[in-house]
Structure 1
Amino acid sequence: MKFTNAFTEDFVLTDDILSIGQMAKERKKQNPKTIDATIGALLNDQGVLLAFPTVEQILKSQDSTKVRAYPPVDGGKPFKKSLKQWVFQDSLAAIEAAFKLEVLATPGASGALSNVLANYVTKGDMVILPDIFWSNYAAIINATEAGHVTYPMFKNNAFNIEGFKKTTELIAKETNKVVVLLNDPCQNPTGYSLSKVELEQLIAHLDQLGKSYPVVLIYDIAYLDYADEHYEDTRKRFLSFTNIASSMLITIAFSASKTFGIYGYRGGGVVALSKDEAVIQEFSRVALYKARSTWSCPPTEPIFLMNTLEDNALLQQSFFKELSEVRHLLQQRAKAFIEEAKAVGLVHYPYVSGFFVTIPVLQPKVVFERLKAKDIFVVPLSGAIRVALAAISVDEIKGLAAKIKQEI
């Protein structure tokens, strides 16, 4: 007897990062010196999930009757304001002057991606990805019956804009639609961030295609708040959008889970931008319908957290100070690894900032097993292994690049 439908026959996770992470945790109980560089969550130097005191304070102050109540499907007007302000900050005025906007609260950035992809692609469509990407993208796309195609992400240690243009033009002609999924800044898994010029070139190209085809850019900013050496630079990248002339749709997937270190609370949202009000009205209609028919309503805690930070300047400044300290900690870890990798000749993909660094290898599963035998846990990818800098201390990083180089 067969119980599932035919479409679900190929629903298999190609790699299960959470399972590998659990394996590393179990091993660490037996050997405390085990290095667990698997999960994309910020841990302190003692290996404990990092907590922001201001976030903890706010979450503990909630009225339980409000937490337990159903929130609006879209998150509500205060949340919409809070999310726009948080995502764009100093660039908000320029964005609001240039576009029509809509906001939807979602369970994490993954909920945002799932919602947008479910509404904008289907069988016969192709989502355009770089050839190095977070594996769950493929699973989310597959659940829509669409396919995906990749372009070579790097050329001469920089973003391969020519490869991107060639692939998008080809797909536009084949499918009469262009849907691009871009994780930037701090791309998972490489840690690469597009430069100002690279992002402007990418947007200009999509805008040109948008004059002839429907173009949807899904801009995954899950690691936005950990990008750039100076925090005030993080939101300037959105100004690259303001020169768009076509009616292309930009959907920005935000992760409150990553920004505030509340991974299990599944906080997030999507901000939609377009010059065309009809495109935004359509987004609002289909996004709300899909949300209501899947998760029904978003989690209340992240909504309460973001609304509280928006309304309380003192708490917001307190959080920014804590975030600055954590960003500095992550930058220290990255510097330590990158410098050692250079010293021992360990080649990695271009890294700018963020939670991960990725090393190209010919046999990732073989290297994974070799490292595991030495109680070093990384994540095997297609043609590479990923090291989660966010999860290991500077002391654990010392000598790690050399150990990895030895097993490749």
Structure 2
Amino acid sequence: MLHLIPARQTRPDKDVIFALNAEATRRKQAGESVVNATIGSLMNDDGSLSILSTVTKVLREVPAREWAAYAPIPGTPQFNAAVIEDTFAGHIELKLAATAVATPGGTGALRHALMNYLQSGQKLLTPSFYWGPYQTLCEEHERGLETFRMFNDAGQLDAAALDAKLTEQLKSQGRALIFLNDPCNNPTGYSMTRDEWRQVVDVLLKHSASPVTLLVDMAYWLYAGAGDMRGFMHELKPLLGRVGLLFAWSGSKSYTHYGLRVGALIACEAEEKDRNATQAALAYACRGTWSNCVHGGMSAVTKLLTDQSLKSACDAERDVFKKLLQDRVSAFNAVAQPKGLEYPRYEGGFFVTVFHDNAEAQAEKMKSKGVYVVPQKGALRVALCSTAASDVPRLVDALAS
């Protein structure tokens, strides 16, 4: 007899992305020539993980007692303060309105948002191209997921589609939670302009009589192209006190230690009483889910954020990796555009999405050529973060075939 409850008896036993990565890895280990553009970790051109050596050094220096001891349930005060400062440097209004709790990676932050800002059975709203585990998180926590068309006919974020879908949701469920993964959206690589952010803010303010909350998923923000990576935050300030404002902060990509699981959920509330209530709710959710996060990981990341010499060393190392990634982006654009591939504006980030009407069949066809990508609805996700620049022409040829 299977004792699982009915809703859990038919869960898929494999994650699609990790299964494709495992298949590509097996073929490569067997001696085949394989281009593996599936996994979302930054890799060197030789296939090894890109790892910030300063982070590794600091992790080794964390005292054993800090690895062994429980951390405070919402995270150490030093860690939470450092994350807030890192996120809102130069944006004092947002910083003063912020409260935070530690989470196991950015995924934990997304989980807390779903459980604290939507009722059971209500639906998350996110663009039509989104990170697949958003759906998994919703299903696991008895929430639904709806999308709005991400791109209009001009290839820009479709604010009108957001407005229309948000109107529908508020009529049907009375509240809304929106996830926007920006900059360097996964899976498209798209980064919104300041004007696009202004359009989003205008839409949200239009509906601010209802409980509407925006979460900015910042997983890839340190890998954005040229310009001020915090510039878009200027556009968010009018939301304070009118629209819920959340930020999912992740140390995984920022510090190249994906298994450390250090993240945070930041909530901005204009009123102190609202901040206090939010902090209490999120801390309670921590206790009722994972209890607390890895003390040693928080200690290391706090030091990396607050010690200026270590921060500078990390930034310099990350700039090298960012250039490695940017070279791949440039190589892709140089060969993909002449081949006629259709994809969003791509200036930086771990991934790009190539539009295709029959993505599943195309991905299978590419596997026969030893090239692995991730099929999605109407598109193929390409992880340039794990693809050497020298493999980009072969990758593009397979995509265009």
Shorter-chain TM-score: what band? over 0.9
2:290 aligned partner: 295
With structure 2 as the length reference, what TM-score do the two structures score?
Answer: 0.95
SS of equivalent to 1:269: strand
Aligned length: 400
State the shift of 1:309 in Å. 1.7
> Per-residue deviation at 1:15?
5.0
The partner residue of 2:149 within 147, 152, 157 is 152
Q: 1:138 to 1:107 in 2, by over 3 A?
A: same
Secondary structure of the structure 2 residue equivalent to 1:173: helix
Equivalent residues of 1:364, 1:382 under 8 A apart = yes
Matched with 2:118 is 121
User: Residue type matched to 1:238 in 2?
Assistant: M
Distance in 2, matches of 1:159 and 1:38, equals: 25
* Aligned mates of 1:309, 1:203 — CA distance in 2: 33
Contact kept, 8 Å, 1:106 with 1:269, in 2: the verdict is yes
Instruction: Give how far 1:10 is off.
Output: 5.4
Asked if 1:344 is matched to 2:343, the reply is: no
Instruction: Provide the aligned C-alpha RMSD in A.
Output: 1.7
Q: Choose the corresponding residue for 1:238, options 230, 233, 240.
A: 233
Corresponding letter in the other structure for 1:87 = T
Asked if 1:217 corresponds to 2:211, the answer is: no
1:36 aligns with 2:36: yes
1:24 counterpart = 2:24: yes
User: In structure 1, what is the equivalent of residue 390 of structure 2?
Assistant: 395
**In the superposition, relative to structure 1, how do residues 238 and 333 fare at CA in structure 2: closer, same or farther (>3 Å)?**
same
For residues 286 and 86 of structure 1, the distance between their equivalents in structure 2, rounded to whole angstroms, comes to 23
Seen in structure 2, the aligned counterparts of structure 1 residues 195 and 10 have a Cα distance that, compared at 3 Å, is: farther
Structure 2 residue aligned with 1:106: 103
Q: How does 1:38-117 map to 2 (within 5 A)?
A: 38-91=38-91, 93-97=92-96, 100-117=97-114
2:200 pairs with one of 199, 202, 206? 202
**Partners of 1:166 and 1:244 in 2: how far apart?**
19
Divergent runs of 4+, >6 A: none
How many Å separate the matches in 1 of 2:15 and 2:298? Answer: 31
8 Å CA contact retained: 2:118, 2:176:
no
Instruction: Report the alpha carbon displacement of residue 13 of structure 1 after superposing the two structures with TM.
Output: 7.0
Normalising by the residue count of structure 1, what TM-score does the alignment of the two structures yield? 0.94
Match among 239, 244, 265 for residue 270 of structure 1:
265
3-state SS of the aligned residue for 1:194? coil
Does the CA-based 8 Å contact 2:371-2:398 persist in structure 1? no
2:246 maps to 1:280: no
Aligned partners of 1:165, 1:392: CA distance in 2, in Å? 37
Instruction: Provide the C-alpha distance between the structure 1 equivalents of 2:387 and 2:321, rounded to a whole number of angstroms.
Output: 13
From 123, 128, 133, the equivalent of 1:131 is 128
Structure 1 residue 14, shift from structure 2 partner: 8.5
Q: For residue 217 of structure 1, give the secondary structure of its aligned residue in structure 2.
A: strand
2:164 alignment partner in structure 1:
166
1:187 and 2:182 matched = no
Alignment map for 1:370-385 (pairs within 5 Å): 370-385=365-380
8 A contact 2:239–2:245 mirrored in 1: no
1:178 paired residue among 167, 176, 179: 176
Please say if residues 256 and 302 of structure 1, whose CA atoms lie closer than 8 Å, have aligned partners that are also in contact: no
Q: Which moved more, 1:179-188 or 1:238-247?
A: 238-247
- Name the residue aligned to 1:251: 246
1-side partners of 2:104 and 2:275: how far apart?
A: 21
AA of the residue aligned to 2:352: V
Deviation readout 1:34-72 (Å, 9 max, x if unpaired): 111110100011110111111111111111121111111
User: Are 2:118 and 2:175, in contact at CA under 8 Å, matched by a contact in 1?
Assistant: no
Q: 2:139 aligns with which of 139, 142, 156?
A: 142
Q: 1:317 aligns with which of 312, 315, 319?
A: 312
Deviation string 1:100-148 (CA, Å, 9 cap, x unpaired) is 2211111000011011112222334121111111111011112222212
Q: Deviations over 1:175-221 (max 9, x none)?
A: 111211111110000001111011122123212312x1011112111
Distance 2:147 2:308 in 1: 43
SS at match of 1:123: coil
Deviation at 1:31? 2.8
Task: State the Cα distance separating 1:174 from its structure 2 match.
Answer: 1.7
- Structure 1 residue 18: deviation in Å? 1.2
Q: Letter of the aligned partner of 1:295 in structure 2? A: W
2:99 is paired with a residue whose SS is strand
Structure 1 residue 302: deviation in Å?
Answer: 2.8
- 1:245 to partner: Cα distance: 5.2
Distance 1:261 1:267 in 2: 11
Contact 1:108 1:256 in 2 (8 A): yes
Q: What is the alpha-carbon distance in structure 1 between the residues aligned to residue 385 and residue 162 of structure 2?
A: 29
> How far off is 1:279 after superposition?
3.2
In 2, Cα distance between equivalents of 1:344 and 1:338: 10
- Flag structure 1 segments of 5+ consecutive residues without an equivalent: none
CA contact (8 A) 1:74 1:105 kept: yes
Q: Distance in 1 between matches of 2:13 and 2:188?
A: 21
